[in-house]
Each structure stands twice: as structure tokens, then as C-alpha cells.
Amino acid sequence: MTQYDLTPAISKHLDKHLIFPLLEFLGSKGLYDVADIEAAKLALIEKTNMVDYAVDIYQQLNQTDEVPESLRQRRGEVVAKLKSLEGAVKPITDFLSNEENVKLLKQDKTQNMTFLQKEFNIGPEQVDALYHFAKWNFECGNYSAAAEYLYHYRTLSTHPERTIASLWGKVAADVLLQEFGSAMDDILKLKEMLDVDTFAPVAKQLQQKAWLMHWSLFVFFNHENGLNALIDLFMQDRYLTAIQLTSQHLLRYLAVAVVVNKRRRNVLNDLKRVVSQEAYEYSDPVTEFVRCLFVDYDFDGAQEQLAKCEEVLDTDFFLVAAKDAFMEAARQFLFENYCRIHQAISIKSLSEKLNMDEEATEKWIVNLIRNARLNAKIDSKAGTVVMQTQTQSAYEQLLERSRGLGLRTLDLSNAVFGAMRA
Ligand SMILES: *[C@@H]1O[C@H](CO)[C@@H](O)[C@H](O)[C@H]1NC(C)=O
Ligand SMILES: *[C@@H]1O[C@H](CO)[C@@H](O)[C@H](O)[C@H]1NC(C)=O
């Protein structure tokens, strides 16, 4: 299954701390040799301030009690950095350790530096130190301290580039703390900031969009409104272009979000287009499922890909939790499209394809018809479903109409699933 593992491609667009959970996940799935995973972790961690952790991994990996010289040296650097920061950062961390003071800052974002300078001896140098101290904490793996300091830094900072950098750091810290609500807010803020930064070189703009999309995967697959947010972001022209130019593998995540998210069928055409455009550059069982089913109407092919999807999602850090929802939604799509193409379908053969008994299959179809999802009649004598119209446009019109029903349709289709399982 390693051929579909996107960890190497994704890691290129992540902060090293964010790669860590991915490696842990891969380790738990047994796709790779344990020693290889540990070595990859060590390579990441020796560049951070988590020196003791690095020593642990090194010693386990090499079956030794020895501390390598490079790590000993690294520890010295980390401590020296703290010493050099401590003096400058102390006034501001003291200030922040009082809740009343923090309220002052929250009330007035443009809090006047003169006031801070006079009352608390806090000037630009201290604010600067706060940024570096936050970064130092982040590198030490103290993400809660980092998140807090970065948050305050941003309210005080007047340095545009570092304000953006502090927001990236805040997103990463929130993700690592699993604070997905606040990570979502920051992702959206970051997007706004990047969107207005149109003077940056094009390559840099593309790179930042790619980063944003990769970092947001952590949030989108963990937040209740994440799938909508993913579709909104990835489907924007400039972001879709960034996917096509730099990160075609993100199509897997877009495809899953669209298939699972029944409310967003209106973006299916765009997905079809981009997946087929990129098929020579990038494909995996998820994108192939989409292509086979929606572009080629190749049902056997789609079924074959769907079987592989289960394994792909199961070994994908971001998608493992969406696996069941994806499989269910994909099966329903498969069925609906199958019905659209065929004039008359035997319920028996359908039930075999869907792996349900005939009675449940018939019930399911009756419900689809009732909900105006399917324009068909059941011929009970012949044991077939007879389609009333085959034209795609009529079906699309039907979809248009049912989309207006919004939530009601959604409830009904949930009821359909209930009936299907029963
Ligand atoms: C701080 O506030 C005072 C009084 O409102 C004002 O005169 C001063 O210019 C402000 N200083 C800065 C740096 O904004
Ligand atoms: C993280 O930083 C905070 C603030 O500097 C400190 O109080 C706390 O002990 C640190 N936590 C760890 C685990 O080092």
C-alpha cells in the first residue's frame, strides 16, 4: 500500500512538527519498517529544541546509552538561546502573567506602546523578544506556551511579515494542541492575509497557497464544518490552480470531501473536470473512482477502485476517520449513476452488486423514488426497476430542484440510509 502513501509528498509542505503525527500514524499502521520510521523521526527532531526526546530515539535506535556529540552541542545551543532571550522577554512575560493586564490588551488592540513602555518597561525590543521566545517554546514542543505568546505577539506587533509568520506558528500550535476551532479561525485569517498579498512573487504566492491547503487538512478533517470549508478553499480558482501546479495529490482530499458532502453536489462537475485533466499527472483509487464513475460511466472500474479506496483511506492519516462515510456515500453514487444509465435493472442483480438482500434493496429504491432522487418505477412482477428518463439534463434539473429543498432533502436521505441498514 505504500504506493498510495502521500506522507512524503505532503511533508514537503508542512512544518517539521506537523510531520510528527503523520509518522506516528504510519508507525501504527505497520506500512513501513519500525526502524525506518524512528530514523525519520530522529531526522526531524534533531533540528528542533526537543533534544532529550531526540536522545531517547537515538539511544533506542542504536541500542546505546551514549549521547552523540551533535545532540550534546544542540542542547548547549538551546540553553544559550533561552539565556539570551530571558532578559528581554521577562518584562513582557511578567506583564502577560497577570490576567488583568491581558484584559487590557484584549480590549484595545492598538494598545499604545508608550503606555506599555512607561508603565511596564515594554518596548519594541521586548515585543520582538516575545516572538523569538514563542518560537523557542514551539521548537521545545511547548505548544501551549507558543500559542499564547504568538497570540499576544500578534496583537502588539507592527511587523507585517512577522505578523503573518506568527499566524502560521499559531495554526501549527493549535493543530498540535488539537484546538481545531481556533485553528480554523486562524486558517481563515491567514487566508485573508495571503489573498491581499498580491505583490509577492508568483512562485511564493503559489507556495503559500499550497502550504495553507496542506496545513488546513489537519483542521478540515477534524472540524464539524470542515468539509464545507475544504471545498470552499480548494475550489477557489487561485487555489485550484495552485493544486494543479504544485500539489495534484490534494485532489484525493478534495474528492473525498465532495463525495461525502451531499450538500455540495453542485461542485461535482468541477471535480470531474479537474480530476480528468490531471489524470496523467496524478491518480489514486479515490480520484480514479471519481473518473470511472462520473466521467467514463465505467461501473465495473468504479467498483474495482472503490474496493481499493477502503485500504487507501484506512492508511491515510487525514482520511481514516472519514472512511465509513466515504464508502457509504460512494456506494450510493455508484447505484444512482448505474440507474441513470440503464433502462431496466433487475433488483436481484442490483442487490448482489450492493451486497444487500433483495427486500432491503427494493425498499431503498422505493425511498429514492419517493424522495425524487430517482425517476423510476418498480415492476414488482418482473422484479426490475424501470427508469423513466435517462437524460442527464433531466436528472440535473431534478438535482437543481431538490437542492432548493436543502436540509429537508438531507434529512430524507439520512432516512434512506437508516432504511438501508435496517
Ligand atoms: C499613545 O497615546 C498618546 C495619548 O493618546 C499619544 O499622544 C501617543 O502618540 C500615542 N503613542 C503611540 C506610539 O501611538
Ligand atoms: C511551557 O511554558 C510555560 C510558560 O513558559 C511554562 O510555565 C511551562 O512549564 C512549560 N511547559 C513545559 C511542559 O515545559
pLDDT, tens digit, for every residue of 40-57? 999 999 889 999 999 999
What's the 117 CA to ligand 2 centre distance in angstroms?
26
Q: What pLDDT digit, counting tens, does each position of 137-172 carry?
A: 999 999 999 999 999 898 888 888 898 999 999 999
SS3 content of the chain, % helix, strand, coil (to 5): 75, 5, 20
Closest ligand to Cα 114? 1
Task: Please answer whether residues 50 and 139 qualify as being in contact, where contact means their C-beta atoms are separated by less than 8 angstroms.
Answer: yes
What is the reported pLDDT for 412? 39
Closest Cα to atom 3 of ligand 2: 145
What's the one-letter identity of residue 121?
N
Task: Please answer whether residues 221 and 319 qualify as being in contact, where contact means their C-beta atoms are separated by less than 8 angstroms.
Answer: yes
Mean pLDDT of the chain: 86
Spatial distance between the Cα atoms of 199 and 202, rounded to a whole number of angstroms: 8
What's the 141 CA to ligand 2 centre distance in angstroms?
10
Q: Phi first, then psi: what are they for 267, rounded to 5°?
A: -95, 0
Q: What pLDDT digit, counting tens, does each position of 209-245 carry?
A: 999 999 999 999 999 999 999 999 999 999 999 999 9
Nearest to 220 by CA among 168, 267, 256, 195: 256
For residue 395, pLDDT over 70 is answered with no
What is the reported pLDDT for 17? 95
Cβ partners under 8 Å of residue 112, min gap 6: none
Task: Please answer whether residues 179 and 166 qualify as being in contact, where contact means their C-beta atoms are separated by less than 8 angstroms.
Answer: no
What is the reported pLDDT for 422? 34
Cβ partners under 8 Å of residue 218, min gap 6: 18, 175, 180, 183, 318
pLDDT above 70 as % of the chain = 89
What's the 96 CA to ligand 2 centre distance in angstroms?
14
Measured from the CA of 140, which atom of ligand 2 is nearest? 14
pTM for the whole structure: 0.83
Measured from the CA of 145, which atom of ligand 2 is nearest? 2
Place 396 in a pLDDT band, splitting at 50, 70 and 90.
low
From residue 288, give the alpha-carbon distance in Å to each of 134, 234, 269. Answer: 44, 19, 15
What's the 111 CA to ligand 1 centre distance in angstroms?
9
Greater confidence (367 vs 222) lies with 222
From residue 207, give the alpha-carbon distance in Å to each of 16, 18, 290, 412. Answer: 16, 17, 27, 42
Q: What pLDDT digit, counting tens, does each position of 293-348 carry?
A: 999 988 889 989 998 999 999 999 999 999 999 998 898 888 888 877 777 888 88
For residue 24, pLDDT over 60 is answered with yes
Nearest to 259 by CA among 323, 314, 311, 215: 323
Is ligand 1 within 6 A of the CB of residue 114? yes
Spatial distance between the Cα atoms of 137 and 303, rounded to a whole number of angstroms: 49
Task: Please answer whether residues 181 and 220 qualify as being in contact, where contact means their C-beta atoms are separated by less than 8 angstroms.
Answer: no
Nearest to 111 by CA among 99, 127, 90: 127
What's the 114 CA to ligand 1 centre distance in angstroms?
6
Is ligand 1 within 6 A of the CB of residue 393? no
What's the 149 CA to ligand 2 centre distance in angstroms?
12
What is the three-class DSSP state of 251? helix
Nearest to 303 by CA among 289, 314, 315, 290: 289
Measured from the CA of 93, which atom of ligand 2 is nearest? 5
Greater confidence (64 vs 416) lies with 64
What is the reported pLDDT for 399? 56
Spatial distance between the Cα atoms of 353 and 292, rounded to a whole number of angstroms: 16
Q: Which of 104, 111, 113, 114 to mutate to test the pocket of ligand 1 (most atoms within 8 A of CB)?
A: 114
Place 397 in a pLDDT band, splitting at 50, 70 and 90.
low
Ligand 2 pocket: which residues have CB below 6 Å? 137, 142, 145
Place 415 in a pLDDT band, splitting at 50, 70 and 90.
very low
Task: Please answer whether residues 334 and 294 qualify as being in contact, where contact means their C-beta atoms are separated by less than 8 angstroms.
Answer: no
Task: Please answer whether residues 217 and 25 qualify as being in contact, where contact means their C-beta atoms are separated by less than 8 angstroms.
Answer: no
What is the reported pLDDT for 112? 63
What is the reported pLDDT for 416? 41
Here the cell at position 65 is 546509552
What is the reported pLDDT for 109? 53
